[in-house]
Each structure stands twice: as C-alpha cells, then as structure tokens.
Structure 1
Amino acid sequence: MSQREREPENEQAATPPVPRRRTGGRSARVRDAVLTATLDQVAEHGIEGLTIGDVAARAGVAETTVYRRWGTRTALVADAVTELAAVGNPTPDTGSVREDLQQLAEQISHLISRPGIARLVGTTIALSTDPEVAAARHRFWNDRFERSSEVVTRAIERGELPEDAEPREIIETLSAPLYFRLLVGDDPIDDAFITRCIDNTLTLHGTKG
C-alpha cells in the first residue's frame, strides 16, 4: 500500500474523539448532594447540630460553595424540606379510590418512617418563626396536597365520591392520623392502622363505592 493510500487512515486515527455529553450537569449534582447531606445531618443531629462545614464535608463540596448558594443553615433546611416533597412520590391512579388512598397512605408511611424524619418535622415546627423555613413548610404541604388532590378529583369523576367532596379535607383526614402517630404516639404505622385510616376517611366523606 502506498503512503498516499495510508494517509486518510492516519488522519482519521489522529482525530480526537468527541467528548461524551454529560447528563444533568454539575450544578444539579452539587445541589442534590448538599440537600441530601442536609437532610441526613438534621436527621442525625437536629438543626442545633447542623453546620455548613459538616454539610459541605458530607456532600464532598467546598464550604464556600454552600455559603455562596444558600448562605445560612435555615436556607439549607428550607430548600431541603421543599425538595423532600417532590421526590419519589408519584400520584396513584389505580382506577379505585380505595386503592389510590392505600398507595397514598403507604407513601406517607414510608416517608415519615425514614430515620430522622420525626426530628426534621419537629425542626421545621420549631423554626416556624423563620420566614424561609415557614415558607418551605408551606410549599411542602401545598405540593403534597396539590398532587394528592388528583386522586379525589378522579374519584368524583368516577362517581365514587360526592360531587361536593373537598380534596384537601379528604387528604387531611387520611394523613393527619399518620403524622399524629409519628409525632405523638408510640405505636407503629402498620397495615391495620392504614386500613382504619382509609375506612374512616371514606366513611366520613360519603364514599359511594
């Protein structure tokens, strides 16, 4: 083979590979790592034991990065609580109001049974006078209610609930005993307790099914 015939092959070999495109981006990864570290730190030590330095070390980022983006401990907690509402809780759509409420109750049970969640909930209540934390708590509950309300709306359309049923009231009736047991009671949230919460909710709000 002549030198000329080999040149295109050499030129192709010398061409640097195209870099693979990153997915997500560093900023998103840093935010996820910091918020996860914040939730873990609050769960283990409460906000009184939370420092930005510890969060940065746990997240594997520079302390200045955390200060630049959040600035204060309460801003960190506020953002972390808001994030907690949006992750891993798809709205059920089984075609049955009872089954949908069952899945909602199980989601709530799974969330509040995570280690340290009781401390986190208590922390947000204790910091209710802080505007950032109070706003985050409202965003958390509003997001949860807005997503869950679709279950009630679809049940009304299917004729399983009365047309005047109030979605927020129904979700409150279902979830309030679960959170009460988390914060006040000593008994576990088991299948029998979840079933009782669903029965009481459907009875109180006039289920047609």
Structure 2
Amino acid sequence: MKALPGSSVPTQRGLPIAKEGFPFIAVSGFVAVYCLALGFGAAALFFLAVTCFIVFFFRDPERAIPDAEGVVVSPADGRVLGVEFVDEGEFVSGQMLKISIFMSVFNVHVNRIPADGVVTNISYYSGKFFSANLDKASKNNERNAVNLDVDNGQKIVVVQVAGLIARRIVCKVRKGERLRRGERFGLIRFGSRLDVYLPPDMKSEVSPGDNVLAGTSVLGYLT
C-alpha cells in the first residue's frame, strides 16, 4: 500500500469499491445473467441497472487528505444539515460543537476518521429508522458512536446514524486502535447521516447547506 501525496493515509489495492458491496453486486449480476439466459430481456435489463446502481453506491474513491496541523476533515460525503452547540451527555459530558451531515443514496457512503487519535470507546444503540435528514434521527434512530481521543488531548465523537432506507451500520475499528485523519473506518448502507461532535472552541469552516467530501473537506481546526 502507498500513501497519497501530502498524506500518510494508505491507498487501497484493487477496485475502488467497498468490499461490503461485493455480495450485493454478485447476486444482482447473477440474476441479470440468469434472466438473460432464460430469454427475459426486460428483467435482465432491470437487474443490470440495479447492479450498476449498487456498484455506483459502493464506490470508494481515493481522497487527497489535508496534512495541515490540527485540521479536522469531514467524516462523510453529503450535505451539512446543521452546525450548532449542544450540551452533549450521551457520548461525552459538556458542551460540544455538533456538525450533522446527510448522505443521500447518491453520495459515497464510506466513512473516514476526522482527526488523528485513539479510539477510546465504541457504543451501539438500537433504535428506529426515521428519515436521516430529521433532527430526531440523531437521538431516536439506530446509531453507532466512535469516541476518539485526539493527539492534542481533545475529544471527538463520530456517530453513524441509520436512516429510513439505511438499515445496516458497518464499523470496522476497535477500541484502543490508533487511527489517522482520513482513514476509512466504516460505512452505512443506502442513505444515512453522520453527526460529529467537536471541541466547543473549534471554529467551524462549514455552514448548513454546504456539500462536503469525506477525508477532504475541512470542518475546522483544533486549537
């Protein structure tokens, strides 16, 4: 594996597709070929289109990760829903800056770590499946929280939130792992949301309505 220019994050080998998508691609592709063999042309075209969409959904392009000191990058592709200060008590204690990002089915769904640090806790919460662009999804939907102690001693929490269509959260990291900014750590299948809780003294570089890219777009700088 080799690192991207200006980054210590290694690139992945092989096709730029998340491996979690391979079973879906294989099944849909097989059905398309089977329908074609039986002479069901319309059905074959339908499942071919489904296969193409699944490949598109699970795409996992390489990203140029900023290497400036203290930079915090977006953990997800999508649209910024909100930037607000909250008194967070579920994952950490005290006031935090919360940035919420909505991922539609057309966004890349691979999630990346926002800053260098060590995973101190991972918490899974079962829940409902409200549309991920609603505020109540943050507290009521199925979600997975990754607590990160950043190298400068500050704390960040990244919360993967399932949505109306997304029914499967994938988190690949473990407690105690040291991770690098921009490193892949999981994904959510078929439309979802990420909430990232940041130190309250960090000035946000994004606003509601902004479109961001995981590992590339800068959310702010740690002080």
TM-score, normalising length: structure 1: 0.26
Q: Which has the higher helix share?
A: 1
Higher Rg: 1
**Greater RCO, 1 or 2 (C-alpha within 8 Å, sep 6+):** 2
Q: Which has the higher strand share?
A: 2
TM-score, normalising length: structure 2: 0.25
